[in-house]
């Protein structure tokens, strides 16, 4: 998995912080989590979405990860500041590679991944390692678990991979200018997988 440079990290953090409020509102309108859910976030960056989602859903466990240890350090500082100087006991921060997630099979009820899949490639236009990252999500999700992800590139190809792996694509929502998409899909037995629904606006 590639590591972003300092300028790219700065730019992504600034842009994402501005768009996360809209993204969060869409998630809250389309995702219900059962009591006691365990959540994983891949590519948490500064932890902005981790804070929003943790505060809103109060899961039993929320693990926020990033490949870049500097991002994890910043996320730990920002989240602690938001939470009165300390991290919530049920919110964990750690470094992790999306291509080799350090978790047992069927560990989580939800996996969040916001504009992260294309970063597993050395160049964002390639599509060689993304299927492996999607397969890792499939591995760590429990049956009936959901992936909630936003992407700017490879959108149809990622959805096709999800369907091939036995996910049911429940809904997707186009972002500003139609460039990004937020998709929610459920891990189901292959026989119940479906074709993508019409886009929800």
Domains and CATH numbers, the chain: 6-98+107-180 (3.40.50.150)
| Residue 161, C-beta contacts closer than 8 angstroms, at least 6 positions apart | 130, 131, 134, 135
- pLDDT-based confidence at residue 96 (cuts at 50, 70, 90): very high
Q: Could you report the per-residue pLDDT of 111-139, keeping only the tens digit for each?
A: 999 999 999 999 999 999 999 999 999 99
The answer to whether 146 and 74 have CB atoms below 8 angstroms apart is no
The answer to whether 27 and 182 have CB atoms below 8 angstroms apart is yes
Eight-state DSSP code of residue 91: E
Residue/partner pairs of 71-80 with CB below 8 Å, 24 or more apart = 71/9, 71/44, 71/45, 71/46, 72/44, 74/46, 74/47, 75/44, 75/45, 75/46, 75/47, 75/50, 76/47, 78/46, 78/47, 78/48, 78/51, 79/47, 79/50, 79/51
For residues 19 and 109, the model is more confident at 109
Class of residue 124 by CB neighbours under 10 A (exposed 0-12, middle 13-18, buried 19+): middle
Residue 10 tokens read as 């700065």
Per-residue pLDDT at 19: 77
Q: Could you report the per-residue pLDDT of 149-167, keeping only the tens digit for each?
A: 999 999 999 999 999 999 9
Q: At 122, phi and psi to the nearest 5?
A: -65, -35
Query: Does the pLDDT of residue 28 top 50, yes or no?
Result: yes
3-state DSSP assignment of residue 149: strand
């Amino acid at each position: 998995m590639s590591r972003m440079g300092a300028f790219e990290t700065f730019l992504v953090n600034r842009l994402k912080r501005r768009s996360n409020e809209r993204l969060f509102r869409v998630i809250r309108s389309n995702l219900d989590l059962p009591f006691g859910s365990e959540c994983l976030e891949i590519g948490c960056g500064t932890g902005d979405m981790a804070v929003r989602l943790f505060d809103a859903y109060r899961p039993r466990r929320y693990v926020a990860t990033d490949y870049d240890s500097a991002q994890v350090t910043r996320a730990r500082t920002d989240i602690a500041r938001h939470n009165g100087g300390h991290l919530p006991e049920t919110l964990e921060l750690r470094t992790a590679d999306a291509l080799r997630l350090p978790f047992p099979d069927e560990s989580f009820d939800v996996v969040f991944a916001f504009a992260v899949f294309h970063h597993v490639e050395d160049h964002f236009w390639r599509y060689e390692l993304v299927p492996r990252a999607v397969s890792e999500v499939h591995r760590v999700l429990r049956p009936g678990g959901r992936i909630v992800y936003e992407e700017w590139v490879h959108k149809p190809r990622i959805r096709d991979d999800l369907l091939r792996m036995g996910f049911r694509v429940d809904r997707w929502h186009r972002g500003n200018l139609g460039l990004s998409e937020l998709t929610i899909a459920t891990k189901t037995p292959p026989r119940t997988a479906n074709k993508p629904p019409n886009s929800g606006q």
